[in-house]
Structure 1
Amino acid sequence: MRLLCLWFSVLMGGSALAQPAQNLILVTLDGVRWQEVFNGADSTLLFDPAYSRDTASARKQFWAATTTERRKRIMPFLWNMIGQQGQLYGNRQQGNRVNVSNPHWFSYPGYNEILSGYADDRIKSNDKIDNPNTTVLEFLNQQPGLAGKVAVFSSWDVIEAAVNEHRSGIPANSANEPTRPVTSADSVLSDMTTLYPRDFGDGVRADFLTYFSARQYVKQKQPRILFLSFDETDELAHAGRYYDHLRMVKSIDSYLADLWQLVQKMPQYAGKTAILVTTDHGRGHTPKARWKDHGTKTADSYQIWIAAMGPGIRATGEQAGGPVLFQNQIAATLARLLGFDFKSDHPVGAPIDTIIDATR
């Protein structure tokens, strides 16, 4: 029967993978290291008052005797849900490696690589310049049934350039741009966006405002594809605020848990939605002060991680061993989860075949 299904798929011009997911959520946490994702809090930073303003509270909230306990204290949804029902990549202590392939190891080159599947040498700064590359979001927005069903919500304003909102026509609600309220909830969110302190400048919106704006949009518009990009984790790290960085990571994890609960109650999404969570770059680790930094002058900040769950994704949990994976493979993996082969006028990294369950 399996051979018959494969033969029929070839005759129909498709791949062996039937379309297992109808909706897709992509989430990025800017500059979150694999070390915290897989090991939990770093004691050298957590117990140092130079990086944790209240070491007693930091210890109480994030420290535990084992790695397994510590990582769940930071990201309980990631480990209790995705870790049980999906897959996690990037624990280098288990011989599982995920790298960026761009040579810069900072944000815009990373977001371009995630979205376009291509490490483009032209993108070598964080300047807000429209992405010349076709992204997987733009590609999907051109597919039958998906046009107008793609949405982007980001805390950092450069993301709207990374998705090339002007060319693609994909709405990118970014940073502190004004919105047009439709409901009373929209009006409150708009007022909060305008009035809430901008701790990191006008180009960065508080992550909780990004989340609740996206949540409201999902309830109203029900997009088929949602890209949700958070930024404060990186800003807090650059500021050397390790305890606050961990608190923000945990907050974002709680947003993902809330979003997942929401979509499982909505007929369009329940049992039909895949989620992929990743980061744009890593951070330094030796000496410990290098945690604040990334880029080519900061060793090992090319190291990243990926988590995925949903229809069409095998529930194999934390991965060990295997070939090195690259950030440029994420775009094609996202398309394949929806049953498409991402094609563009630039090279595209191959889908991560261990994520895709071709037997369904």
Structure 2
Amino acid sequence: MVLVLVDGLRWQEVFKGADPLLIKEKVFWGDSETERRKKLMPFFWNTISKEGQLYGNRESDNKVNVKNEYWFSYPGRSEALCGYYDPKLNSNGYTNNPNQNVLEFINRQEGYNGKVVTFASWDALGRILNRDRNGMLVNLPGEDVLESKISEAQRLTNELQHLIPDYFHESRPDELTFIMAKAYIHQNHPKVIYLDFGDTDNYGHSGDYRKYLTSANRIDKMISSLWDALQKDSFYRDKTALLVYTDHGRGIRGRWTSHSRKTPHSDETWLAALGPGIPALGEVKTEGQIYQNQIAQTVANILGMTFKANHPIGSGIESLYLVEKN
């Protein structure tokens, strides 16, 4: 199982490509929305749209929303990973999450202990996943991978992250998070991988629409590169699922740089899925509603498990998988 979070990427760019009201350069431009979205996210629209599923195009009345009322990063990530909206989690600076998440649940199952890993571009993931409680590997900005046997590629990426400029507080470039994760995967073959990317949100807040788009495009390329590597590896080939989603939406037009409960549309999200057992529905254009709190149970269900925790959990998205639950 591979989970990928793309922080604050709007459904509008995923399904319609570059916004004609915001774009100035023509790098990701096309005469139609179909052309623009393929230029921006080619893996989504050349692979996932043919072999997997895409939810959240609100112009087809297909909706994905967060349940939480805050519409920003810590609550959005926690809701997705715990399957639960906890109103107490009302700050990005919130301390260790008291709610159990699906990754630590999986990590406790036979054959999965020590095989569930996270690589994140934002340091809050240590608190959101409460690694102090569960002891899972959650690699954060500035932290080296300290396994007993690391590859030369891992040694180089450990060194590289201390040489790359820190453009955003408490974060590192998504490309660096990706290459550290990919080197770890090649060396250790974990069974569940969570990648948490943040540059789309960082550049969104800075108001740089060109870099916001470029970050989305690079993340699409990184997901494509990882998927290709997994399909070439017999350990993962034809038995690995991929879920990609965001933690919150953003405003529209002049408010696209912001997101909060005071910014309309910030609760609007999206979801993509690919892999064995996931029907090839492509872009789902039928009327429907998915909530962020359904992602955690869906992850467990795809792996043939039923997620249980110290709090209520949203139901799985049954249209997304065709596996037996135990």
Is the TM value for this pair above 0.5? yes
Equivalent in the alignment of 1:51: none
2:162 to 169, 185, 194: 194
Equivalent in the alignment of 2:153: 185
Equivalent in the alignment of 1:54: none
Contact kept in structure 1, 2:248 and 2:268, CA below 8 Å: yes
Structure 1 portions without partners, runs of 5+: 1-23, 48-57
Aligned equivalents of 2:200, 2:291: Cα separation in 1: 22
1:255 and 2:222 are equivalent in the alignment:
yes
Equivalent in the alignment of 1:17: none
Contact kept in structure 2, 1:130 and 1:161, CA below 8 Å: yes
Tell me the CA shift for residue 322 of structure 1.
Answer: 3.2
Structure 2 portions without partners, runs of 5+: none
1:337 and 2:302 are equivalent in the alignment:
yes
Within-5 A mapping of 1:272-291:
272-285=239-252, 288-291=253-256
Equivalent in the alignment of 1:348: 313
Aligned equivalents of 2:141, 2:191: Cα separation in 1: 22
Equivalent in the alignment of 1:46: 23
| Matched pairs, number | 323
Equivalent in the alignment of 1:5: none
Contact kept in structure 2, 1:178 and 1:194, CA below 8 Å: no
Tell me the CA shift for residue 129 of structure 1.
Answer: 1.4
Contact kept in structure 2, 1:86 and 1:314, CA below 8 Å: yes
SS at match of 1:151: strand
Deviations 1:151-190 (A, max 9, x none): 0000000011111111111100011223438332222211
Aligned equivalents of 1:359, 1:337: Cα separation in 2: 8
Aligned equivalents of 1:318, 1:263: Cα separation in 2: 23
Contact kept in structure 1, 2:304 and 2:324, CA below 8 Å: no
Equivalent in the alignment of 2:87: 121
Contact kept in structure 1, 2:123 and 2:141, CA below 8 Å: yes
Equivalent in the alignment of 2:105: 139
Equivalent in the alignment of 2:236: 269
Tell me the CA shift for residue 192 of structure 1.
Answer: 1.4
Letter in 2 for 1:200: F
1:68 to 23, 34, 54: 34
Equivalent in the alignment of 1:312: 277
Question: Which has the higher Rg, Structure 1 or Structure 2?
Answer: 1
1:326 and 2:304 are equivalent in the alignment:
no
Deviations 1:23-72 (A, max 9, x none): x000000000000000000011102xxxxxxxxxx21x111011111001
Equivalent in the alignment of 1:87: 53
Equivalent in the alignment of 2:184: 217
Q: Normalising by the residue count of structure 2, what TM-score does the alignment of the two structures yield?
A: 0.97
Aligned equivalents of 1:177, 1:149: Cα separation in 2: 19
SS at match of 1:44: coil
Aligned equivalents of 2:228, 2:120: Cα separation in 1: 21
Aligned equivalents of 2:324, 2:283: Cα separation in 1: 20
Contact kept in structure 1, 2:60 and 2:287, CA below 8 Å: no
Deviations 1:245-273 (A, max 9, x none): 10011001000110011011111100000
Aligned equivalents of 1:105, 1:320: Cα separation in 2: 25
Give the root-mean-square deviation of aligned CA atoms: 1.3
Q: Normalising by the residue count of structure 1, what TM-score does the alignment of the two structures yield?
A: 0.88
Contact kept in structure 1, 2:301 and 2:316, CA below 8 Å: yes
Equivalent in the alignment of 1:36: 13
1:151 and 2:128 are equivalent in the alignment:
no
Aligned equivalents of 2:236, 2:151: Cα separation in 1: 23
